[in-house]
Structure formats: C-alpha cells, structure tokens
Amino acid sequence: MRDVDRREKEVGDSHLIVAIDEYSDDAIIGSTLSGVITSWNPAAVRMYGYSGQEIIGRSGSVLVPADRAGEFDDTVAMVQGGKAVEHFETTRVRKDGSVVPVSLTVAPIHDQAGRIVGAAALHRDVTEQRRALEIAQRMEAIVDSSEDAIIAITLEGIITSWNRSAEKLFGYSSAEIIGKSAETIGPQDRLDEIKDILAKNNASQHIRHLHTTGIRKDHTVFPVSLTVSPIRDEDGTTVGTSIISRDMTDLHHAVLYSRSLIEAALDPLMTISPAGKITDVNEATIKVTGVPREELIGSSFSQYFTDPDRAQAAYQRVFAQGALTDYPLTLLHQDGTLTEVLYNASVYRDFNEKVLGVLAVARDAAKLRQQQQLSEQLQQALKSRIIIEQAKGITAERLGVTIDQAYQRIRGHARNNNASLHAVAEAIVEVGLQV
C-alpha cells in the first residue's frame, strides 16, 4: 500500500510538473550536466524560435552570444558543483539572430540517490521590465530636472514624492515634507480648495492651469499655477494625485506692471475682440464714457461714439490694413458730454501671428490742439529770445557798453516807439537799426 501511495503521488507530481512546463510563460529548459538540451517547453519555442525537434540534442551554448561564451561554461561548472544560479540577468540569442534580455535561474537535477544528473533552467524574458525600468528612469530624470515643482500625494492628501524644484519653490527638503499633508503648502484660507482638488482627482478629473497661491516654509505666500492629474495603477484605478506647481511670481509682477502702465495712461484705451466686443479698458475710458468697467467689458465698442457706423468702419479698416492713425471720432459720455478724439488702433496677435483683436487708443483732439498751440508758442518764444540776445550783443559791441546796458537801450527804444521788443531786436539784427 505504501508503494501504491508513493507511486500515485509521483504520478500526481509528474502531472503537475508537466502542466507547469506546458503552460508556463517562462522558458523551461532541461539539460545534461555537460549542457546538452534534453527538454524544451512551448514558452522556449516562443522565446527563441527553435522547435523542440530543432534544439533538443544540441548544446545550450547555441543560445549564448559570442561575447558571453564564458557565462555558459561558468554556469555548467556551478551546476556540476551542486550550486544554483538565481536571477542572473544577461542576454541570449534567438534563432533569427536577435538578442533578448533574460533573467536566468539554473538549478541542478538530482536522482533518487541524490546524484546530480542534469540541470533545469528557467529563462524569463525581461524585455518589458527593462523597457519599463528605462521609462521609469527617464521619467525620474525628467521629474528631477524639471523647473516646475512636481509632487505626488496619496488619495488622502499625504505627500509621497517631492522633486528638487519643489524644494526650491517651497523651501522644504524631501525629508521634511514627505509624509506630511498637502495642506502644509497651501494657505489656511484655501484648505477647501485643496479638498475640492482631491475630490475631483479621486473622480479621475484633470485640472489644468488652476491659478491659486502656495505658501513657503518661511510663510511667504506666492502665486502658482497648478496642473493636477490622477495617478493610476495597472488596472486604471486612481491610486494617487500628481501635482505640477509653476511659480507665477514673475508673470504676476509683469501683469501688475503692465496693468499699472495701462491704468496710468491719460488717453482712453481699450481692447476689442474680432466680434467687436470690448475685452478690456483702462480708467481713462471709464471716465470719458461714464460707464462702469463691468458694463463696458462685453459690450459693443461702437455704441460709445456719436456715429456708431463710422466707428465700425474704422474698426474694419484696422483689420484690413493692420493699423489706423488719427481717425476722427466723437466719444459720447452718459451725461451727454462729447469728446472729440483721434482714434489710433492696431491689431494684436498671438505667438503664431493669429490676430486676437484690436488695441485702440483715443487721444483727446482738443487737448492735442492745446498742446500744439503751446508748443508753437514755446517755439516762437525761443526764436524771439534768440533774436533779442543777438541784438543785445550787436548793440553792446557797437556802443561799447555792457550787455545789460545794451538791453536797457533796446527796451527803451521799443517803449518810446510803441514797438515790441522782438520787432526792435529783429530790426537791429536784420537792417542795422541803431538805438
């Protein structure tokens, strides 16, 4: 009965081994102590391209690249010495000459008496693992060298990954921050925002370019742009959150600087969409129209001129020509006040030269005329001053007196003859008048 039980167990074990050999995804190869192949399972056929009939009876060295011949001899020697080789990563050659990376496990086969009679080798194709490792290494290098802070957190909001840019941006080292809540880097008055982000991520929603604020280790607050994406496992289940934080401080300062320049301009300024709707205005536009900013934005720009059709025509010319200079229009204030303006406009474009709209500046025509008159007066005064100085010099030299005395002589002559100082000086210089 004991012999029958043992025999039945041996049969059962052999059936199990046959099933494992038949359906394994790994190549299972049997060989003699000298390395001659004695068994070759279906996975070995798929991996190396040889059928059982082609390969059984040949040396296993046929699978070894020429530059690794010593590996085969070393493995045979280890098996003959009763030692196993475990998870040895190397390369082997297929029937078509292509090379495949493999992980080898080789063990000696013993008979019932305990003698080593052969070897069993398990060859695992690690192409996908190596490719995954290479991708992971590249991703790690990208993450580590990124200028943006890249942070990974759990579904509960615990930080698990923290790159070098995150250290620079927030001031915490990896050792200090990993394991802490993401709320550590968010202002206390925005904790609900963080919870909302996590809730959307858990629902597999992406969040792109969310403008918010972050807080550094030294408690300074700064503007950031967040891109939030779910981290999924092999089954597609969301297991965490990836957050890319971009420091928007410089851009924020640039926007504020540009805005201050726009608001400081004395001339009304507005941007207009291709559809003719106002997209932005400055304070001068609000004053000249009497309309609040929130009402101006989104409304038709032409309605704020006394002749909307003429304003619309000017706008169309800007699109056709690219720009328009000193186009006369009249702005209408809510209280009925009219302001004559010279309309100057040009199209503005994006990085790819696509027209985004029109930038328009309306210069007050009356103020321009006043400035021109003042300029003319200043020019005339300067010219008169030059003539008088020349006349003073001529008179001083002619009469042998000082410059001040010469000026008094010229001034007295002008009074006595009811003439302007400029006219007397001009006569002295141009016709030699003596005073």
Domain ranges of the chain: 2-125, 138-252, 254-368, 374-431
Question: Phi and psi of 154, rounded to 5°?
Answer: -75, 175
Q: How many CA atoms lie within 13 A of 271 on its CB side?
A: 10
The alpha-carbon radius of gyration of the chain (Å, integer) is: 45
Q: Are 88 and 101 a contacting pair, CB within 8 Å?
A: no
* CATH of the structural domain 2-125, one choice from 3.30.70.20, 3.40.50.510, 1.20.120.80, 3.30.450.20: 3.30.450.20
Dihedral (Cα; 202, 206, 212, 214), 10-degree rounding: 60
CATH architecture of the domain covering 138-252: 2-Layer Sandwich (3.30)
Cβ neighbours of 350 (radius 10 Å): 8
Q: How far apart are CA 173 and CA 385, in angstroms?
A: 72
- The hierarchical CATH code for the domain 254-368 is 3.30.450.20
Specify the residue for token string 């000696």.
108
Q: What is the pLDDT of residue 17?
A: 62
Q: Return per-residue pLDDT of the chain as tens, 435 residues.
A: 455 455 555 444 454 566 666 778 899 999 999 999 999 999 999 999 999 999 999 999 999 999 898 899 999 999 999 999 999 999 999 999 999 999 999 999 998 888 999 999 999 999 888 888 887 778 778 788 788 999 999 988 899 999 999 999 999 999 999 999 988 998 888 777 777 877 877 777 778 888 889 999 999 999 999 888 888 887 888 888 889 999 999 888 888 888 888 888 889 999 999 999 999 999 999 999 999 999 999 999 999 999 999 999 999 999 889 999 999 999 999 999 999 898 999 999 988 888 899 999 988 876 766 666 666 667 777 888 888 888 888 888 888 889 988 889 888 888 888 888 888 888 888 878 887
Q: What is the pLDDT of residue 251?
A: 86
Q: What is the pTM of this model?
A: 0.52
Q: Is 70 helix (H, G, I), strand (E, B) or coil?
A: helix
The DSSP call for residue 235 is: T
- The hierarchical CATH code for the domain 374-431 is 1.10.10.10
Asked if the domains at 254-368 and 374-431 fall in one CATH topology, the answer is no
Q: What is the pLDDT of residue 123?
A: 94
> Residue 50's closest CA among 106, 100, 1?
100
Q: How far apart are CA 313 and CA 298, in angstroms?
A: 19
Q: What is the pLDDT of residue 41?
A: 93
